[in-house]
């Protein structure tokens, strides 16, 4: 049986480092399931692996798209499974890492046979988003499916649009749709989660944002102003700085909002990962040794 080692955890917890170290130890490759890191124009704000990190181990689905490209979780599932088949043709194990829970779950468990986007629904929802902002979409989804709303990235307009569209089309909550039978996988998944006390996670996030600013996040966001309405850019780290460029906020406040929204995102990730129920947890300050110890007991 081929095995996928999936590394989960909050933003800024050290997943990239653990993935690279395990990939090198096991002589294999890494698949990213971080939907923000797909876009090559968003290197700094998404904490994309650096050139030196990418050179340490072979990565897939990192900087592979442009913000102008159409992409979906369904497309990702199809392409990720194809890539895993290629890796498993030569190796017995592969690594997957990233903070996007739905994308990780799509690979591990498969997506339900959900309908394609309804053009009329999409037009209606995009019109709401462009004219009234994201808040009405958040309110609508919270009313239609409070369970999914409790775990979804509430600042990701694409996720909100997709969920509402499916609910309207099927007459079932998105949660109910996601619980329908899924395709069988021909590999076994072993999840490793990195954990840390909440205060450590928040401290690391705050420091990470400071480092992003030192590394040129402001200039990166400035270069993307003309594209700020793209769905890919409706995300933490960019939407706050666009408000600074628009004169709504001063820079210090915008940076403090990036930190606050990143902490909120981490809290949602913690909620999501707790619900997975089959995660083998390792400590953030000893993750490699503990992960290798866990893997030592598995038949390879």
The domain limits of the chain are 2-111+183-213+272-296, 119-178
Top CATH class of 2-111+183-213+272-296 equals alpha beta
Q: Is 119-178 a domain of CATH 2.70.150.10?
A: no
Terminal Cα distance for the chain, rounded:
9
Query: Which residues contribute to the annotated binding site?
Result: 9-16
The whole-angstrom separation of Cα 59 and Cα 28 is 10
pLDDT in tens, 34-88: 999 999 999 999 999 999 999 999 999 999 999 999 888 889 999 999 999 999 9
Q: pLDDT value at position 298? A: 81
Query: Which residues contribute to the annotated binding site for ATP?
Result: 9-16
pTM above the 0.85 mark? no
pLDDT in tens, 248-293: 999 999 999 999 999 999 999 999 999 997 999 999 999 999 999 9
Query: Which residues contribute to the annotated binding site for substrate?
Result: 11-16
CA angle 145, 37, 187 (to 5 degrees): 75
């Amino acid at each position: 049986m081929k095995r996928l080692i999936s590394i989960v955890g909050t933003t800024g917890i050290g997943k990239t480092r653990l993935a690279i170290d395990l990939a090198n130890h096991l002589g294999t490759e890494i698949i990213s399931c971080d939907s923000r890191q797909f876009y090559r124009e968003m290197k700094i704000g998404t904490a994309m692996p650096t050139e030196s990190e990418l050179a340490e181990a072979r990565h897939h689905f990192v900087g592979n798209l442009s913000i102008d490209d159409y992409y979906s979780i369904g497309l990702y599932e199809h392409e990720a499974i194809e890539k895993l088949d290629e890796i498993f043709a030569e190796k017995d194990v592969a690594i997957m890492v990233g903070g996007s829970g739905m994308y990780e779950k799509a690979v591990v468990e498969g997506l339900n046979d959900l309908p394609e986007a309804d053009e009329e629904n999409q037009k209606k929802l995009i019109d709401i988003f462009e004219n009234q902002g994201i808040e009405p979409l958040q309110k609508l989804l919270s009313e239609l499916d409070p369970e999914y709303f409790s775990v979804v990235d509430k600042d990701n307009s694409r996720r909100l649009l997709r969920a509402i569209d499916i609910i309207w089309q099927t007459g079932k909550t998105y949660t109910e749709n996601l619980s329908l039978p899924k395709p069988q996988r021909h590999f076994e998944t072993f999840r490793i989660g990195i954990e840390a006390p909440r205060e450590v996670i928040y401290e690391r996030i705050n420091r990470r944002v400071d480092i992003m600013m030192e590394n040129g996040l402001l200039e990166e966001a400035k270069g993307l102003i003309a594209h700020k309405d793209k769905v890919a850019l409706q995300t933490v780290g960019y939407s706050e700085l666009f408000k600074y460029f628009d004169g709504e906020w001063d820079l210090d406040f915008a940076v403090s909002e990036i930190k606050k929204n990143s902490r909120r995102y981490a809290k949602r990730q913690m909620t999501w990962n707790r619900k997975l129920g089959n995660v083998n947890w390792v400590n953030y300050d000893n993750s490699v040794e503990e992960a290798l110890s866990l893997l030592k007991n598995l038949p390879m």
